[in-house]
Amino acid sequence: MNRHRLLFLVFPLMAGWGSSAALRAGEPMQLATATSRSVPGSLEAASSRIPDEEAEKARRYLGYIKVRPEAEALHRAVKEGRTYTIDLLLKAGVSVDARDEKGRTPLMLAALNGATTLADHLVKKGAALDAVDPLGTTALMLAVENEDDRIARQLIAAGAALDLADQSGRRALHRAILQEHPEIEAALLNSGSKPIMPGESEAPLTLALRSGKRELIQPLLAHGAPPVDWQAETTALFWKAYAAQDDALQDLLQQSHAQPPVLAGSDQPLLAEAVLWRDPQLIGRLIEWGGDPETQLKIPASQRFIETTGQPDLKFYLEEEQGMNVLMLAAGLGCGEGVAALLKGGANPLARTDHYKMVALSFAGRTGTPECERLLLGLPVEPAHDEITIRISLKLQQATISQWGEIPIHTSISTGRDEFPTPLGRYVISDKHRVKVSSIYDVPMPFFMRLSGRDFGLHEGYVPGYAASHGCIRVPEEMAQKLFRMAKVGTYVTIDE
C-alpha cells in the first residue's frame, strides 16, 4: 500500500484526535476543509487562519510529491502544463509573476509555448498582463511573435496594454506586421491599438509597405495611418505594379504616401515624365492622387529629357522658357490623349509662359496636331455635321469649302510666293479678327482667320491669280466676308500641294 493511500485510510482517526499538531504533521492538502471546521472560535478567527493553513497544507503536499515551493518549480510546471501543481505552488506562496533566469513571468512562458488554456488560467489567477522582461517584451508581444492568435486575443480581451513598446521601439502591432499576420494586426487595430505613436522610429505602415502585402497595408490605412515617405523598396514596388498594370496596388501605394514616387535619374516631376511617355492613364491617376495638372517643368531640362521628346522645336523652350507646364509639353508632343487627360484634370489652356507668353495652343500649332488644338479650344476632335472644312490647293491656287450634305464652294486664292511659301499641313482656325493690321508689314488684313496660332492665316486681299503673298492665304473680298461668317474657331484647314 502506497503512502498516499495510507494517509487517506488513517484520516478518520486523525480527525477524531483533535490535535492540531498531529494534523500539521501528516495531513494531506485535501484535509483543508475538515481542519478549518474543527478549529474552535469565532467565524472571524477561523477565516483569518484559513489562508495560512491553506498555504501550509499546499507546502506539505508539495513535499509529498517532491516539489519545492519556489519560482523554478513554477516555471517548470508552466512549461510542462501541470495546472494542479501550479495551483499548489501559488497557494504555497510562490508569486504568479515570479521571474525565470531570463526575466520572464509564467504568463510570458505560456504565451511562448502556445498554452492557451494555461495562459487563461494564469490570467484568472491574477498574472500581471503588462509585465515586461529585461528587453521590454510583454506576454502579448510574445504571443503575437509566436503567431498565436488565440492567446493574443485572450490577452487583448483581458485588457493587456496594446501599445507598449520594447527597447527596440516595436509594439505588438509591429510584430504582427513583421510576422505577416493580418488577423492579429486587425484584432489589435480594432481593439484600439494606434496605427502610429508619437516619436516612433519606424511607422507600422512603413513595415507593411515593405512587405508588399495588401492585406497588411489596408487595415492601417482604414484606421487612419498617416502617409509615409517613399523608400527604395516601396518605390520599386510601385514601378513593378506599374509595369504589371496593377492599378489597385498603385492606388494603395499612393494612398500610403503624401507625394507621387520619384523616377530614379529624372530631373522632372513624375507628371512630366508621364506626359513624355504619352501615358494618359498614368497622367490621369497622378492627377487623381493630387497631382497639379498645371505642374511646371524644371527649366533647363536635362539633355536626356529633351532628346526623348523627339521634337526639335521644343528644344529651345525646354532649355530657356520658364513657366512651361505639362499641358504645354503634351501639346508640343502632339499627344492628344495626354492633353485630354490634363484638361479633364483641370489644366488651364490659357496659362502662359513667362517670357514669350505662349499658351498650350501655340505649342500644339508647331507640331501640326490640329486634334490637340481642337481639344485645347474646348471642341471635340471630330467636327460636327454643321461645321465646314477648308482645303487649300497651292497648285490650283484654289480653296474648297465643304459642309456635310452641301455642294462644295470653290474660290480662287493667292498664297505665298517662293520667297515666303505658305507651309503645308493641317491646321485649325485658332482666332478670328474682323479688323487686323499686319505687325510685320503694317498692312491691313480684314477678316483675318489665324491658323493654329501661327503667324499666317486667311484674310481678305488682292488675288491676282497666282501666288503673291508673304505666306498668308488671300481670299477675294466677298468670299472672305462669307467665309469669315461660315468658319468658326476650331474649323479644320488643310493646305496641300
User: Which element (helix H / strand E) includes 459?
Assistant: strand 457-460
* pLDDT (average), residues 100-123: 95
- With contact defined as beta carbons under 8 Å apart, do 103 and 71 qualify? no
> For position 345, what pLDDT does the model report?
96
Question: Does residue 327 surpass a pLDDT of 80?
Answer: yes
Band the pLDDT of 15: cuts 50, 70, 90: very low
> For position 258, what pLDDT does the model report?
87
The pTM score is: 0.71
> For position 436, what pLDDT does the model report?
87
Cross-strand bridge partners of residue 8: none
Band the pLDDT of 405: cuts 50, 70, 90: confident
Helix count (H) and strand count (E) of the chain? 25, 8
Mean residue pLDDT of the chain comes to 88
Looking at this protein, which amino acid is placed at residue 314? Answer: L
Taking only Cα atoms into account, the Rg of the chain, rounded to an integer number of angstroms, comes to: 44
36-78 confidence digits (pLDDT tens):
333 333 334 334 445 688 899 999 999 999 999 999 999 999 9
Q: Which residues of 383-395 are buried (b: 16+ CB within 10 A; e: fewer)?
A: beeebbbbbbbbe
- With contact defined as beta carbons under 8 Å apart, do 367 and 309 qualify? no
Phi-psi region of 231 (alpha: psi -120 to 50; beta: other; left: phi over 0): beta
- With contact defined as beta carbons under 8 Å apart, do 117 and 97 qualify? no
DSSP string, 325-393: BHHHHHHHHT-HHHHHHHHHTT--TT---SSS---HHHHHHHHT-HHHHHHHTT--SSPPTT-EEEEEE
Looking at this protein, which amino acid is placed at residue 190? Answer: N
Going across the sheet that includes 473-475, the strands are 409-412, 398-403, 388-393, 492-496, 425-433, 448-451, 457-460, 473-475
- With contact defined as beta carbons under 8 Å apart, do 195 and 223 qualify? yes
* pLDDT (average), residues 470-490: 96
- With contact defined as beta carbons under 8 Å apart, do 204 and 183 qualify? no
